[in-house]
Structure 1
Amino acid sequence: MRSRNTGLILPCRAPSEEQVQRLGYVNPDTSAVPGRNRRRWDVVAACAHRNLRCEPGQKDGRQVQSGAGDAHPGAGGASAVGESGVPTSLFAVSDLHVAYEENRRIADALVPESDDDWLLVAGDVGEKFADIEAVLRGLRDRFHRVVWAPGNHELWTHPGDPVRLRGVARYDALVRMCRDLGVLTPEDDYPVWPGPDGPVVVAPLFPLYDYSFRVAGAATKEQSLELAYAAGVVCTDESLLHPDPYPNRESWCWARVAATETRLAAIDPALPTVLVSHWPLVRQPTDVLWYPEFAQWCGTELTADWHTRFRAVAAVYGHLHIPRSTTYDGVPFEEVSLGYPREWKQRPDSPAPMRRILGGPR
């Protein structure tokens, strides 16, 4: 199928066995790490963003802490204590991808330390409505409050999902489902977490992306996409994430950014925030992508100052499947993804996807 906007051929099916042998595609279920010049195809998962340019823990010019656990233990002073007498925490996780049985078991095993703990879910719970609903329902039953922001996988119209809604209609249905469960979304009033040093506004965001994280040397979206297709690095969003009724994904992104910016600007200026988005708000986290062409599906330059402009004490994101902590402009950025089994099995520690963002014991 040829794209009306770009003239590019969209990947509508998996490669043939001949293509696999000729081009060196990697089976998406393999645990092997591909070499730099090997192409990867994955019709279920976004491709080409699996590996860091540096080893876990290696510095890349910024403060970096690999893995999960505590983002910055005891941040903000003395701990808030809930009714149970246990210090309360603001935890976060993303990219649970529960279509994988091993990941589903991990998601079902997530439990709070305190009856008053909150959990931020930064997108990509799964692709199918039933899976997303079941996991969020379980988390809501266990945590005091659950706050969800959508990822690209939830927005897919997946061929295996009986729910055939597309674009805005699908997102709206996800929001209604979350509200029925008692899970907060980007369309609800921003909740206030009773932090140890005072209240913190938790803002779940849905900015999407607009291809402005272009490939080096590309002046336009079309040029950037051409380079990505030539490199064999194409996000499955191009086939499954529909922007209806918007003409394209960037138009949907721009509408989302404008509406979200207005809401963030209306927050009490005396209150700090925790910003929660599936896609990173700044481009720098994508600098470590092994396949730099994938960055164009990872955010928008329009959000580059939100962490400073809206007084963030932490910015939580996922999508990259590179769990780590970095700091930009003095603000901690927490990539909290679990990722696919073939990824987390290669990490030295056992999966610990739930990361403390604020609060907890000191």
Structure 2
Amino acid sequence: MRLFAVADLHLGFPANREALAEIAPRPDDWLILAGDVGETQRHLQIAFESLAPKFRQLVWVPGNHELWAVAGRDDPADTPPLRGEERYRAFVALCREYGVLTPEDPYPLIAVDGRAARLVPMFLLYDYSFRPPDIAIEDALAWARETGVRCADEQFLSPHPHESRSDWCRQRCEETKARLLALGEEDAPRILVNHWPLREELAKPPRIPRFSLWCGTQATQDWHRRFKASVVVSGHLHMPSSRTVDGVRFEEVSFGYPKQWRGRRAPDAALRQIVV
């Protein structure tokens, strides 16, 4: 089978929902959805109902938009939206209803183009450590605002019941690291998948470099080497690219907002084939 990946479908936009119909069936292949499918459970349902019949298996990791504490159109008006850990767990439960793999499932050993590989979907978040060493963490938001950079996560992404997003990030990294170490010294290379980039130099949008604050954690800077990755898949930046660091390919597989893809590439072409 072949393995494909795409991130940042942002199905809150009607044009992006319509674009799903243009994705060609690949019934023998797997598809990674690397976060920011949308903001609500209904957005994930739309993706699964459109794409699950076209692929043998879907794999999902959350992005920041799924974690936003916003109400869906079909949610009861008198019920506050889920937030934080509870929201994430509800999305995992929805994935399981559709047979979609998540970061909470065992990491599958798969054969990609006939070669064995361990697929590792992760949820790691960020901790504001992608900042200059002379900027204290308590000054980080002000540092970003000096150039007009803000992130809606500060309003919508609750870390509840954790004290902060940094604490939640630390917990996720520790849990994931333990699971990776438990795999031992197997020969199969790993395909690491996370919505946010794993390395700081890959997390600096040229027009808004200080947005890096919300793009990952220094804790994962060496994970591509430490955990025998052959490929690292991410999204979040809306900057599709393929780069090699230390002999490991880093694939940014974002689709993006309508103004970013219309007239530039066909929706089906946004799916990146991941080669081990």
Judge conservation of contact 2:112–2:275 (CA < 8 Å) in 1.
yes
* Among 102, 116, 137, the residue aligned to 2:28: 116
Judge conservation of contact 1:289–1:295 (CA < 8 Å) in 2.
no
Shift of 1:217: 6.2
**SS of match in other structure, 2:203:** helix
Correspondence 1:271-286 to 2 at 5 A: 271-286=188-203
Distance 1:288 1:326 in 2: 15
Aligned residue for 1:42?
none
Correspondence 1:131-146 to 2 at 5 A: 131-146=43-58
Summarize deviations over 1:187-222 as a string: whole Å, max 9, x none.
0011122123531111100000000001x3642222
Aligned residue for 2:161?
245
Summarize deviations over 1:59-100 as a string: whole Å, max 9, x none.
xxxxxxxxxxxxxxxxxxxxxxxxxxxxx3100000000111
Judge conservation of contact 1:98–1:107 (CA < 8 Å) in 2.
no
**SS of match in other structure, 1:103:** helix
Judge conservation of contact 2:204–2:210 (CA < 8 Å) in 1.
no
Distance 2:166 2:206 in 1: 22
List gaps (5 residues or longer) in structure 2: none
Letter in 2 for 1:169: E
Summarize deviations over 1:302-329 as a string: whole Å, max 9, x none.
0111111111111000000000101111
Distance 1:248 1:346, change over 3 A: farther
**SS of match in other structure, 1:289:** coil
Shift of 1:345: 2.8
Correspondence 1:263-342 to 2 at 5 A: 263-269=179-185, 270-342=187-259
Aligned residue for 1:262?
178
TM-score of the superposition, structure 2-length normalised? 0.92
Correspondence 1:182-221 to 2 at 5 A: 182-214=99-131, 216=132, 218-221=134-137
RMSD over equivalenced CA pairs, Å: 1.7
Aligned residue for 2:19?
106
List gaps (5 residues or longer) in structure 1: 1-87
Judge conservation of contact 1:218–1:224 (CA < 8 Å) in 2.
no
Aligned residue for 1:63?
none
**SS of match in other structure, 1:209:** coil
**SS of match in other structure, 2:51:** helix
Letter in 2 for 1:95: D
**Higher strand share goes to which structure?**
2
Letter in 1 for 2:46: A
Q: Runs of at least 4 residues of structure 1 off by over 3 A?
A: none
TM-score of the superposition, structure 1-length normalised? 0.71
Shift of 1:107: 2.3
Q: State percent identity of aligned pairs.
A: 46
Aligned residue for 1:156?
68
Judge conservation of contact 1:155–1:241 (CA < 8 Å) in 2.
yes
Correspondence 1:70-89 to 2 at 5 A: 88-89=1-2
Judge conservation of contact 1:155–1:171 (CA < 8 Å) in 2.
yes
**Higher helix share goes to which structure?**
2
Quick check: which has more Rg, 1 or 2? 1
Summarize deviations over 1:145-182 as a string: whole Å, max 9, x none.
11111000001012555371000000000001101110
Shift of 1:109: 2.9
Judge conservation of contact 1:111–1:143 (CA < 8 Å) in 2.
no
Aligned residue for 2:3?
90
Aligned residue for 1:13?
none
Letter in 2 for 1:92: A
**SS of match in other structure, 1:168:** helix
Summarize deviations over 1:91-142 as a string: whole Å, max 9, x none.
00000001111111222332343x2200011000000111112212332222
Distance 1:231 1:218 in 2: 17
Letter in 2 for 1:137: E
The count of aligned residue pairs is 269
Distance 1:112 1:312 in 2: 28
Distance 2:261 2:85 in 1: 32
